Structure 1
Amino acid sequence: MDEGLEEAKTILLMGGDIGGTNSRFALFKVDVSDEIMARGPMDHPPFEIVYAKNYLNEDYSMFRDVMTSFFADAEHHSDFARTPDFHLTACCLAVAGPVDDGLANFTNRGWVIDSQDIKEWFGFEHVRVVNDFVASGYGILTLMETEVTVLQEGKYSQSAPIAVLGAGTGLGECFLAPNWSPYGSFYDAYPSEGGHVEFAPKTDIQFKCLQFLSEKFQGRVSVERIVSGKGLLNVYEFFKSEYPDEFNEGHDHKIINAVEAGAVIASLTYDYTLCAQTMEFVFEVYGTEAGSVALKFLPYGGLYIAGSLAPRNIERLTGHDSSFMKAAINKGRVSPALKNIPIKVVMCEDLGMRGAQLLSYRIFLESKPLAIASQLPSVTDTLETTANPDIPAIRKSDGFSDGPYKEPH
């Protein structure tokens, strides 16, 4: 172990998930023993939460003030107070919005989140700011079998891409691809703005909805205008105009005045015809987009449906006869290829924070390559031969003696 690790008795890392409404932070300490360090960038690194807390963004005029409050609160917490000689090493913040060279702007709040500013102000060695859905992509790697619902088993390939899409407030998408390093083999996540592609209607009612939304938004309509919490309200308004005889003033009042109209629409599915039609419509389009993502990436490593919309309405996705699955697989002559892709719904909603924690651990390892590289197998040692001897595959292992990579569930 190098001197830097020996001098600091406790290495503290930090993860944060910064949304439009709340900021969530967690400090955690890691085991830096030679045995643990030699395992490389595990998807389930051994760490212990020292302190965690959530904050309302509206209470702060600057992002720096939120983090300052977090550390002030942490100092009064018993677990943090009992952490001797700690060293703030790496921090990763998952931010809801685009990130450019470590900089994110929250234009609706007037915040600027700057990785360099955070590094200098709070004394971290390394700080990384990433898009929240990229962090969710890394969070996929931490999932346990009990945290997913399998929609289609497919045929898993350990060297194939992974794709993720998730509807919540908006529609996020990203993909993960195998990477190689001195530590062995692992996945890296990459951003996408796939949720903003044009909505392509397939049925008469979808064409009518496109026309309605084109008029509402004065032109272009993206898939996110339909497949998201806000999209549910857009589609409900379309059905309200299309079927005025089904209108219910009492239910409509609840929807229009709700903070989260989408959640109210979902709750009224069995009591209000327009809500039932809305949900069926949205999940069919959701399935179509999931199938389109599958076609683009051929993610035989898994297609994961994340976000809050899917797990809260899981009954609308399960079963091959669900409108979601039928739309996902119905891709004409290439449909057979999609039937081999593993498709799973993520049932937990903390992927962003998980991904931020995992990334902060990787950042820490990257900062200590010389200390542990000699203990690790070479890249060529981590490869196995596939059916095609010219194409190496990532070795499937449990992240321990067999290597650093773990198949996501």
Structure 2
Amino acid sequence: MKKRSTTPSILVGDIGGTRTRLSLYDGRGKTLLLEAVLPSREHATFDEIALRFLSSASHPHPTVAVLGVAGPIRDRVATVTNLPWKLDERQLARKLSIPEVVLANDLAVAAAGCLHLPAEVALALDDRKPTPKGNHMAVIAAGTGLGEARLVWDGSKHLVLPTEGGHTDFAPRTPLEIELWHYLSNRFPDHVSYERVLSGDGLGALYDFFASRGGREPRAIARKLEQGDRNAAIAELGLARAYRPATRAVDLFASIYGAEAGNLALKELALGGVFVAGNIARHIVPARRELFLEGFRKKGRFSALMSTIPVVVVTDPLVGVRGALAMARDLIAAREGASPQPKRAVKKTVKKAAKKKRSG
């Protein structure tokens, strides 16, 4: 039997409506020991995934876990927005036999990761680089849901604060978008939010809107959309300008995404920069940067100010892992009475990020 290492380890996780990623690192957070990416909806609870993952490790049990959760967290309990899961820090610590478990909003974790990005995974849309020191910043990410988070400068460091701003009301800007709102209100009579437009099946909804205004869908297009990931197929067709409804859907998606990123920048006065993360950003935003930036900057009397705010696309799919590791290292440093590394929030900040809830 393989002998287990005696070096402490760190568990970090990214719990989303589609996939759950778990990673086990050494106690310094430098070396990846074990990793798994599992489909969330195929498991009844997070405990089921975590216990199976930990039991497969030939390494010591972790002493701390930081788990990013796609949903609000209140009183140390997280509700996953697009899954019937509830996670409780205290229960998880007991069930997983981990002394310290911290649940943090997934965008708060990603935001923490944005503070530690190497230059090669940060694509500036207009060649302006973020200016973190002395400025607030913001993070937005469209995926299964639409996440938004704040990086608030407190005079010496950034405090990471989650929001649920993706659930704010979708605000049409043009006659076409007013028509889109009416179309979506029939599909989602409870609430038409930015998340309904920009995440999950949002791109598919935009495609359906434009397809309903045109002629009959060609059989070849219908077959392509029936195979595999429908949204990915629409994005491929739209980016290649291979089918007009898909092209218009991608273009409008980029414009509305830019507009909401600009709304976030205004609400947070994020003069230091806005980070755009998530799989959709990596594929669509750079290809439609002009439309995105036009939507971002077109804010009437504040258009000139908006043109000075850096916008950066995060091309690193593991930015959340970076953030979770930074948080975990701060927890360990605080527990051991050491000073955290520069630019990292102390334990109090991590707890704030884990507990604060902003719903829209």
Partner of 1:12: 9
Alpha-carbon distance in 2 for matches of 1:115, 1:23? 17
Partner of 1:178: 153
Alignment of 1:6-405 (within 5 A): 10-31=7-28, 47-75=30-58, 80=59, 86=60, 88-106=62-80, 110-152=84-126, 153=128, 156-179=131-154, 185-218=156-189, 220-244=191-215, 247-255=217-225, 257-269=226-238, 270-318=241-289, 322-369=290-337, 372=338, 404-405=342-343
Alpha-carbon distance in 2 for matches of 1:176, 1:108? 25
The amino acid that maps onto 1:281 is L
Report SS of the residue matched to 1:74: coil
The amino acid that maps onto 1:263 is A
- Contact residue 161 and residue 301 of structure 1 kept, 8 A: yes
- Contact residue 70 and residue 81 of structure 2 kept, 8 A: no
Q: Relative to 1, partners in 2 of residues 1:331 and 1:27: Cα closer, same or farther, differing over 3 Å?
A: same
- Contact residue 135 and residue 270 of structure 2 kept, 8 A: yes
Offset, 1:218: 2.2
Q: Relative to 1, partners in 2 of residues 1:60 and 1:211: Cα closer, same or farther, differing over 3 Å?
A: closer
Report SS of the residue matched to 1:359: helix
Offset, 1:286: 0.9
Q: Relative to 1, partners in 2 of residues 1:110 and 1:192: Cα closer, same or farther, differing over 3 Å?
A: closer
Offset, 1:273: 0.8
Alpha-carbon distance in 2 for matches of 1:361, 1:145? 22
- Contact residue 17 and residue 144 of structure 2 kept, 8 A: no
The amino acid that maps onto 1:23 is T
Report SS of the residue matched to 2:33: strand
Alpha-carbon distance in 1 for matches of 2:251, 2:80? 34
TM-score by length of 2: 0.85
Residue-by-residue CA offset, 1:154-196 (whole Å, 9 max, x unaligned): 672511111011111221111111347xxxx432211111111
- Contact residue 136 and residue 351 of structure 1 kept, 8 A: yes
Alpha-carbon distance in 1 for matches of 2:114, 2:132? 16
The amino acid that maps onto 1:251 is I
Alpha-carbon distance in 2 for matches of 1:54, 1:217? 31
Alpha-carbon distance in 1 for matches of 2:113, 2:202? 25
Aligned residues: 337
Report SS of the residue matched to 2:31: strand
Q: Relative to 1, partners in 2 of residues 1:112 and 1:259: Cα closer, same or farther, differing over 3 Å?
A: farther
Residue-by-residue CA offset, 1:21-58 (whole Å, 9 max, x unaligned): 33222222234xxxxxxxxxxxxxx6222222233335
Alpha-carbon distance in 2 for matches of 1:253, 1:304? 36
Percent of residue pairs bearing the same amino acid type: 30
Offset, 1:363: 1.5
Offset, 1:129: 0.9
Offset, 1:215: 2.1
Alpha-carbon distance in 2 for matches of 1:211, 1:109? 27
Q: Relative to 1, partners in 2 of residues 1:56 and 1:209: Cα closer, same or farther, differing over 3 Å?
A: closer
Alpha-carbon distance in 1 for matches of 2:169, 2:43? 36
- Contact residue 137 and residue 274 of structure 2 kept, 8 A: yes
Q: CA-atom RMSD, angstroms?
A: 2.4
Offset, 1:89: 2.1
Alpha-carbon distance in 2 for matches of 1:345, 1:329? 16
Offset, 1:9: 6.3
The amino acid that maps onto 1:26 is S
Offset, 1:217: 1.8
The amino acid that maps onto 2:174 is T
Alpha-carbon distance in 2 for matches of 1:300, 1:200? 23
Report SS of the residue matched to 2:198: coil
Offset, 1:366: 2.1
Alpha-carbon distance in 1 for matches of 2:46, 2:130? 45
- Which one is further off, 222-231 or 274-283? 222-231
Alpha-carbon distance in 1 for matches of 2:212, 2:160? 41
Return 5+ residue gaps in structure 1 as ranges. 1-7, 32-45, 81-85, 377-398
Report SS of the residue matched to 1:104: strand
- Which one is further off, 345-354 or 280-289? 345-354
Partner of 1:387: none
Alpha-carbon distance in 1 for matches of 2:197, 2:41? 28
